[in-house]
């Protein structure tokens, strides 16, 4: 039996009517999706299906995945906002794919048109299975959004071919993807079609990973290459294949690969009832979130392997923190939440979502970050950026995995708000709007009124079709220290009803019942673990789920010299005219007096200190105005 007891309420059954998500989803629909289509066209990625030898724009090994993520994002948008132009664009891409699909169902543009004799010859480095996974996700999303099955049928044919190619049977390859993603995609395809073969294939890829003798050695030998020649000079841990997944003890290697793998493992555990995966998932969760995650929810600190280094290594200016990694962390956290029903997963999901992921896109939805450092200075290198340049979002990348990834997350974000089963409705994220869930054979509508994340007061109204007993489980965020709850005006003891971070209110609910949840949001000074050497003697500011940063445009140069006194009074105000409307933090801090230093590089004389006004904005919104320095962590006095 499946272990997963909760089912996410579909994003099509959740609507936003708030100050935060409604405008962002609309910007994603009206700005981001059209711009990404233009960029895919300009880069040649949409024309790749008509490529012939000798022509420019040779299809790259991962181009299918970029197109697929845009198709998936477009499908989510079409499900809630029908758009003839967008639907026509999607259908055109699907038709182009159909025109080149092999007679056996194979569908990878690079290997169909560029290197047809090299199929499945380099699973470690060439992204065939990764691209297939993203195409599967897109096909499922489009079928569910529009009812059109052409794309889904194409991908089922392709998946049937993959199923024949890989396995433990005679003549089959016992390989697995170098870049994970197909594992979770196969589970989505299984849910959409009911074909257990697809779930079995997902389990095979999970179970086979890291077994010895290493498949990658065999395929490298078959290519006439040395097995140790790895991308980024890494070894098996780079793609989490150094040992069988059930033996993994700490998060290693490429961050995006890791998160997709763990999400796939969670899906396999949930849908097969395989409890042997859970201990590893919980160990990996602890390793990731308690020793290798930045305060913003960003992960993967170094550009050297686009991934992890060692415990408590959390740099700021040089932090890589790929947007895709934060997006994938949201995916994994959401799945763990449904497995363990513990708010600690939702807390990280929310942290990564509001900070590490959303920083990857500009406020107007037109430009993107690949890397998301926690400090920026024009003279210092950061990620792939050269020293002497400002860290700014750009319109596209040579490897443009991040722009369509953040687009598909935003387009489907309503699906992360709540979950249900036959006897309960769980609320994970707070946002103004409404949701409809099936509980006990009837539709229950939940309406939220709130200005979250700028205000922690949440008012809810429940409307079941008929009076019924069920449980309403409300997340009490880990960052909130003094939450208060009332039902129809009567105070509920949170201590008595809270389990694993959720307040469980079991009662007979009737139409119009009201719930008032108060989540106070004082500004908090956050310290890093003593082993985080980069942040010793420093503090970061956080309010509710939002991590703040300081930009030169609001303050001054030499942000590194700001020192925040322990008794400094910090105020919050809502600025409706700034960056679409945000809460800002203001106060007073100390800074050394620069005047009088002259040309001396070092001095034994005591430096005078002055009081300065400081202003902080949400980290996710930095680099939307005049270029300059930025910092999350300040010196503490």
Q: Which residues are catalytic?
A: 306, 401
| DSSP notation for 229-291 | --GGG--GGGGT-SS-GGG--S--SBHHHHHHHHHHHHHHHHHH--GGGHHHHHHHHHHHHHH
- What is the C-alpha to C-alpha distance for residues 373 and 318, in angstroms, rounded to an integer? 6
Mapped onto helix, strand or coil, the DSSP state of residue 387 is coil
Q: How far is Cα of residue 409 from the mean position of the Cα atoms in its chain? A: 7
Are 441 and 6 in contact by the 8 Å Cβ rule? The answer is no
The helix (run of H) or strand (run of E) holding residue 321 is none
Where on the phi/psi map is residue 180: left (φ > 0), alpha (ψ -120 to 50), or beta? beta
- What is the C-alpha to C-alpha distance for residues 258 and 361, in angstroms, rounded to an integer? 22
Mapped onto helix, strand or coil, the DSSP state of residue 611 is strand
Cross-strand pairs, 576? none
CA angle 572, 296, 333 (to 5 degrees): 120
Short-list 363, 121, 148, 285, CA closest to 218: 121
The helix (run of H) or strand (run of E) holding residue 562 is none
- What is the C-alpha to C-alpha distance for residues 547 and 538, in angstroms, rounded to an integer? 14
Residue 2 is classified by DSSP as -
**Beta-sheet pairing, 563-564 with 538-543:** unpaired
Are 209 and 241 in contact by the 8 Å Cβ rule? The answer is yes
Mapped onto helix, strand or coil, the DSSP state of residue 55 is coil
Q: How far is Cα of residue 14 from the mean position of the Cα atoms in its chain? A: 20
- What is the C-alpha to C-alpha distance for residues 544 and 464, in angstroms, rounded to an integer? 31
**Beta-sheet pairing, 7-8 with 418-421:** antiparallel
Phi, psi torsion values for 33, nearest 5 degrees: -60, -45
Phi, psi torsion values for 43, nearest 5 degrees: -80, -10
Short-list 262, 227, 232, CA closest to 245: 262
3-state per-residue secondary structure call for 172-237: CECCCCCCCCHHHHHHHHHHHHCCHHHHHHHHHHHHHCCCCCCHHHHHHHHHCCCCCCCHHHCCHH
Q: How far is Cα of residue 196 from the mean position of the Cα atoms in its chain? A: 28
- What is the C-alpha to C-alpha distance for residues 571 and 568, in angstroms, rounded to an integer? 10
The helix (run of H) or strand (run of E) holding residue 509 is strand 502-509
């Amino acid at each position: 039996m499946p272990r997963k007891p909760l089912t996410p309420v579909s994003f099509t059954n959740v609507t936003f009517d708030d100050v935060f998500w409604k405008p962002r989803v609309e910007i994603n629909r009206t700005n981001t999706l059209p711009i990404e289509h233009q960029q895919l066209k300009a880069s040649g990625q949409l024309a790749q299906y008509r490529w012939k030898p000798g022509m420019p724009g040779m299809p790259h090994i991962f181009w299918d995945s970029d197109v697929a993520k845009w198709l998936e994002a477009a499908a989510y948008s079409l499900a809630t906002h029908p758009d003839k132009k967008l639907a026509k664009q999607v259908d055109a891409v699907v038709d182009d794919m159909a025109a080149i699909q092999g007679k056996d169902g194979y569908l990878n543009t690079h290997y169909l048109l560029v290197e047809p004799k090299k199929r499945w010859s380099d699973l470690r480095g060439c992204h065939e299975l990764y691209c297939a996974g993203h195409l599967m996700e897109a096909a499922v999303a489009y079928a569910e959004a529009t009812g059109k099955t052409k794309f889904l049928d194409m991908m089922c044919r392709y998946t049937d071919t993959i199923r024949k190619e890989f396995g433990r049977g005679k003549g089959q390859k016992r390989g697995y993807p170098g870049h994970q993603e197909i594992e979770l995609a196969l589970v989505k395809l299984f849910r959409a079609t009911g074909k257990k073969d697809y779930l079995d294939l997902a389990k095979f890829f999970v179970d086979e990973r890291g077994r010895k003798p290493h498949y990658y050695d065999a395929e490298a030998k078959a290519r006439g290459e040395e097995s140790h020649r790895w991308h980024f000079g890494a070894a098996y841990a780079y793609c989490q294949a150094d040992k069988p997944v059930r033996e993994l003890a700490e998060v290693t290697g490429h961050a995006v690969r890791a998160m997709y793998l763990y999400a796939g493992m969670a899906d396999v555990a949930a849908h097969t009832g395989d409890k042997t995966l859970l201990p590893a998932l919980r160990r990996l969760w602890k390793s990731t979130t308690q020793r290798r995650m930045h305060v913003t929810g960003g992960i993967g600190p170094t550009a050297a392997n686009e991934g992890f280094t060692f415990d408590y290594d959390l740099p700021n200016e040089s932090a890589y923190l790929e947007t895709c990694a934060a997006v994938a962390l949201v995916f994994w956290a959401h799945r763990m939440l449904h497995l363990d029903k513990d708010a600690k997963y939702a807390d990280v999901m929310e942290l990564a979502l509001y900070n590490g992921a959303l920083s990857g896109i500009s406020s107007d939805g037109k430009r993107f970050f690949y890397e998301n450092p926690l400090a920026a200075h024009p003279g210092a290198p950061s990620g792939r950026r050269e020293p002497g340049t400002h860290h700014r979002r750009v319109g596209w990348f040579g490897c443009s995995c991040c722009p369509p990834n953040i687009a598909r997350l935003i387009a489907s974000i309503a699906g992360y708000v709540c979950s249900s089963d036959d006897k309960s409705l769980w609320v994970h994220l707070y946002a103004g709007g409404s949701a409809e869930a099936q509980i006990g054979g009837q539709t229950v509508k939940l309406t939220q009124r709130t200005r979250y994340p700028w205000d922690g007061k949440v008012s809810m109204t429940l409307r079941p079709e008929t009076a019924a007993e069920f449980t309403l489980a409300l997340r009490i965020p880990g960052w909130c220290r003094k939450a208060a709850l009332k039902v129809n005006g009567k105070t509920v003891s949170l201590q008595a009803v809270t389990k694993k971070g959720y307040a469980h209110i079991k009662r007979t609910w009737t139409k119009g019942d009201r719930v008032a949840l108060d989540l106070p949001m004082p500004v908090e000074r956050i310290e890093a673990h003593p082993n985080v050497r980069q942040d010793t003697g420093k503090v970061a500011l956080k309010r509710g789920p939002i991590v703040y940063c300081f930009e030169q445009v609001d303050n001054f140069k030499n942000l590194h010299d700001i020192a925040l006194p322990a008794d400094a009074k910090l105020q919050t105000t809502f600025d409706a005219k700034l960056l679409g409307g945000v809460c800002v933090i203001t106060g007073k801090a100390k800074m050394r007096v620069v005047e009088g230093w002259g040309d001396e590089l070092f001095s034994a004389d005591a430096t005078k200190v002055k009081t300065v006004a400081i202003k902080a904005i949400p980290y996710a919104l930095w680099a939307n105005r005049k270029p300059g320095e930025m910092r999350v962590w300040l010196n503490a006095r």
